[in-house]
Chains A and B, each alone.
Chain A
Amino acid sequence: MKVGLFIPCYIDQFYPQVGVATLELLEKLGVNIYYPKNQTCCGQPMANSGFECYSKDTCKLFIKNFREYDYVVTPSGSCAYHVRHHYNIIEQNENVTHLRKNTFELCDFIANVMETLHLDASLHKKVGLHQSCHGLRGLKLGQGSELVSEPHSIAESLLLKVQGLELVSLNRKDECCGFGGTFAITEEAISIKMGKDRLTDHIKNGVEIITATDMSCLMHLEGISKRNNLPIEVKHIAEILNSQC
């Protein structure tokens, strides 16, 4: 099994430690993981802003970079969702169809492709899970609170395997953080208010570290938290699943 690692653009540039943690974690789990060096972005920033037409060549570059892999793994539910659901704008050849089916968010890959039962990780902290929307509702990595079905969450079940980690329950367990890509800029007032409200929920419930399957949500929450000197940290779930302390 040959697996390609896709590191989203903003993680590559601003949160390299998340990429490192993802790579190390997958290597620890015995995955043959490769990182194609010509990768940039999945194309989502343009597409969600209404300029899908400008993203076609970026999508094609993604396909070119990863076409030889059995799976693509990425520490982002949002990018995986984009590849799976919005790569219908380019010609649907064999490579595209293959990658739309086999691009996985990291936790999804660990739980459902690797079927990993044991993780050698420990972190003695109170952790709050932010259920990033595209992973939760888009990729169905868990049961959204809107649906009437068996409660489950892939991210939560993996976090519960981390020794010493106390998973904190929240008042609103899956409300959006307000990042939303360019929404964070074009609807700045609401974006900030949504972020503040998520942070308050975590802090009031005693969370020390907020984690998520998407660093973009955490970048937004961290930005607000830092500006207001709030007593809370953010860590991508890959960093937690890879942690030893």
Chain B
Amino acid sequence: MLTHSQAAKEFNKDESRVDWHDKAIWHLRQNRDLGVNKIPNWQQLRETASEIKLNVLSHLDTYLEEFEKMALSNGVHVHWALDGDEHNKIVKDILEKHSVQKLVKSKSMLTEECNLNPYLEKYSIEIVDTDLGERIIQLAKEKPSHITAPAIHKKKEEIDQLFQKMLGTPPSNGDAQFLVNAARTDLRKKFLNADAAITGVNFAIAESGGFVVCTNEGNADLGVHLAPVHIACMGIEKIIPKLEHLGVFLRLLARSANGQSITSYSSHFFKPRKGQEMHIVIVDNGRSKQLASEDFRNSLKCIRCGACMNTCPIYRRSGGHSYGSTIPGPIGSILSPNIDLKKYSSLPFASTLCGSCTDVCPVKIDIHSQLYKWRQIIMKEHPNRVKQMAMKTNQKVFEHPRLYNIVGIVMRRAIKLLPKSILYNKLNIWGKQRDLPNAPKKSFKEWYNERS
């Protein structure tokens, strides 16, 4: 697997594409700004949401059991999965019990995390993603590059080519309306023939055992309303205590994502309709480990709005795939090291610690502080030897004022006297595309000493 910086370097070979990608995603951030600025008490709303989620994380066991109890009394089957494998097996067993051949699925980052699609395909179950963006990347055999806009890395013209190849559509010169209609026509057949529908869960309400799925396309609803079996997959952190808390999160979620006041569909599911079976699979997959860690616990407050990606100047210029993790961007960079520290060790360094992610986050996760904390852990567990040597040298120099003064003189002389060909050698990464600063004759300290 490439490190983030290697993947980002690749992505940056095509500068006009980087500009296009940056602009497309910045547009989401701008719309978010317009949306949130209409709410004068936005900061208070964030604080309220954060406090509700902190309460949830402190009493997660109680709320989960309450949720289970209520869901069972509503006639819903509840399953618990320790990890992705267990989750996939539970889903497969339900599908097998109902002899499901064809399945529709609305957007769920959890099923991405568990690799559900390839798993079910092994058992010859046809699984069709019904969110437009998800469908596009499914046809392209790619992974989502963003959590709310999974195909944002693809241009309309590329989707046109893809649909021609996969759906047999005529060329449309990237006509968005035409392409949406083509996807709709194709998906309609899939909806009508599905034996089961899988959805994600945005919010699970402990007091009622109900859960809420947010989409803009209505695809979750259409799938669920047509199929005889509904399986909803959720991470343990999706709980909110009471129905009255839902409004807080619905106001924050869509506004933070793209400035919409609310998602077009915010559908509440309580119990199966007559003749239908409803299942909820509740998944841990490393979350309780994150919960146990004081420094990283509150990353579980995340409601998956994607605002930290849209604001991140690095994400916008490196693309979601450069992170190599299910959840990309700043939040992905604090969640992923918990899953595999070594594999994702470059992610907490894919940041300037500018803090924009923390300020944009609707549930006030201190993302940039957690990136800083992961850095300390990663360099202890898997130190980068070159960096370690450089920092050990810094340590020595900065601890000893006299040595610091001498190193300063030598460095400035070297910059002044060495020929450019030597100064700008291969190891001087700073100087590849940047000039070094001019080396003054005297440091400030030398000037000050002479002055007094």
A interface with B by C-beta (< 8 Å): 7, 9, 11-20, 23, 35, 37-41, 43, 45-55, 57-58, 61, 86, 133-134, 137-138, 144-149, 172, 174-176, 178-195, 197, 219-220, 222-224, 226-227
Contact = CB atoms under 8 A, between A and B. Distances in A.
A190 B314 contact: yes
B392 A15 contact: no
Contact of A16 (B12, B388, B442): B442
Nearest to B42: A148
26 contacts: A7-B444, A9-B398, A12-B444, A35-B445, A40-B400, A41-B394, A45-B394, A49-B375, A49-B391, A50-B379, A57-B395, A58-B398, A58-B399, A61-B399, A138-B355, A146-B33, A146-B359, A147-B42, A149-B43, A175-B313, A189-B9, A193-B317, A219-B437, A222-B437, A223-B436, A224-B434
A190 B318 contact: yes
A117 to B, nearest CB: 29
Contacts of A149: 43
Interface string B419-452: 0000000000110111111111011111111000
B25 interface: no
Interface in B342-398: 349-356, 358-360, 372, 375-376, 378-380, 387-388, 391-392, 394-395, 397-398
A174 B313 CA distance: 11
A227 to B, nearest CB: 5
Q: Which 8 A-B pairs have the closest CB atoms?
A: A180-B352, A50-B379, A223-B434, A19-B444, A50-B375, A137-B355, A146-B359, A133-B354
Nearest to A225: B435
B429 A148 contact: no
Contacts of B398: 9, 40-41, 43, 46, 55, 58, 61
B18 interface: yes
A191 to B, nearest CB: 8
B20 interface: no
Interface string B10-22: 0110010010001
Contact of A137 (B22, B356, B412, B432): B356
Contacts of B138: none
Interface string B398-411: 11110010001001
B159 interface: no
A214 to B, nearest CB: 12
Contacts of B436: 223
A198 B181 CA distance: 39
Interface of B: 4-5, 8-9, 11-12, 15, 18, 22, 26, 33, 36-37, 39-40, 42-43, 311, 313-314, 317-318, 349-356, 358-360, 372, 375-376, 378-380, 387-388, 391-392, 394-395, 397-401, 404, 408, 411-412, 429-430, 432-440, 442-449
Contacts of B404: 9, 40-41
B64 to A, nearest CB: 32
Given A11-B444, A16-B440, A178-B313, 17 more contacts: A14-B412, A14-B440, A16-B447, A19-B447, A48-B375, A50-B375, A50-B376, A51-B391, A133-B355, A146-B33, A146-B359, A147-B43, A148-B37, A176-B313, A180-B354, A188-B429, A223-B430
A143 to B, nearest CB: 10
A134 B395 CA distance: 23
A48 B8 contact: no
A4 to B, nearest CB: 13
Most chain B CB inside 10 Å of its own CB: which residue of A45, A54, A144, A226: A54
Contact of A194 (B37, B317, B349, B411): B317
Contacts of B392: 51, 54
A148 B40 contact: yes
Nearest to A200: B19
Contact of B444 (A20, A137, A185, A186): A20
B356 A144 contact: yes
Contacts of A40: 397-401, 404
A176 B352 contact: yes
B423 to A, nearest CB: 13
B359 A189 contact: no
Contacts of B22: 197
Contacts of B380: 50, 53
Nearest to A36: B401
Contacts of B432: 188
Nearest to A10: B437
B359 A223 contact: no
A166 B401 CA distance: 41
Contact of A12 (B15, B311, B443): B443
A176 B39 CA distance: 26
Contacts of A179: 352
Contacts of A227: 433-435
Contacts of A222: 435, 437
Nearest to B409: A13
Given A147-B43, A176-B313, A180-B352, A193 B444 contact: no
Contacts of B408: 12-13
A54 to B, nearest CB: 4
B430 A184 contact: yes
Given A35-B448, A189-B12, A190-B12, A145 B376 contact: no
Given A7-B445, A54-B392, A148-B43, A137 B433 contact: no
A134 to B, nearest CB: 8
A212 B317 CA distance: 23
B387 A176 contact: no
A224 B433 CA distance: 7
Nearest to B435: A226
A187 B355 contact: no
A148 B36 contact: yes
Given A13-B412, A38-B401, A189-B12, A180 B353 contact: yes
A176 B356 contact: yes
A15 B4 CA distance: 32
A51 B381 CA distance: 11
Contact of B395 (A12, A58, A224): A58
